[in-house]
Amino acid sequence: MTTKFVDNCVLFEIENNDKISDLSIHFKSEKYFNLHFIINLKSIAIIQYLDFLNTLSIKHKTLNKSFVVISCQINGDLHGLELSLVPTIEEALDLIQLEDIERDLNMT
């Protein structure tokens, strides 16, 4: 798992050999407390991690921070989750900007 800082976000890039459960450790770290999370799953099958990612997303959003997952496997089976899914990093950053504006306007 690699970590990069982009604007006011932390980008976690998950590879096939990484343990996605390691995100829990980073989630609790004060180093990332005030940052938005972007999780790039690259080619990892999202379906097996939906519950885990959805739980982290709900917790992170209670901190008024965004939690966005990048995955090319977006389909109708994923509706009804509290999980923001986008296909590219650019769309993740755009979504975070939009959510920041909504929070500033007290729309959420």
Q: Residue 74: its pLDDT value, please?
A: 66
- Give the rounded percent of residues in the chain with a pLDDT score beyond 90: 33
pLDDT band at 42 (very low <50, low <70, confident <90, very high): confident
User: Which CATH code is given to the segment(s) 2-104?
Assistant: 3.30.750.24
pLDDT single digits (tens) 46-98: 777 888 888 889 888 888 899 999 988 766 566 667 788 899 999 999 999 99
Q: What is the mean pLDDT of the chain?
A: 85
Tell the burial category of 43 from Cβ atoms under 10 Å away from its Cβ (0-12, 13-18, 19+).
exposed
Answer yes or no: is pLDDT of 27 > 80: no
Q: Residue 76: its pLDDT value, please?
A: 59
Contact 43, 71 (CB under 8 A): no
Q: Where are the domains of the chain?
A: 2-104
Q: Between 23 and 103, whose confidence is greater?
A: 103
Contact 87, 72 (CB under 8 A): yes
Q: Residue 79: its pLDDT value, please?
A: 61
Q: Residue 89: its pLDDT value, please?
A: 94
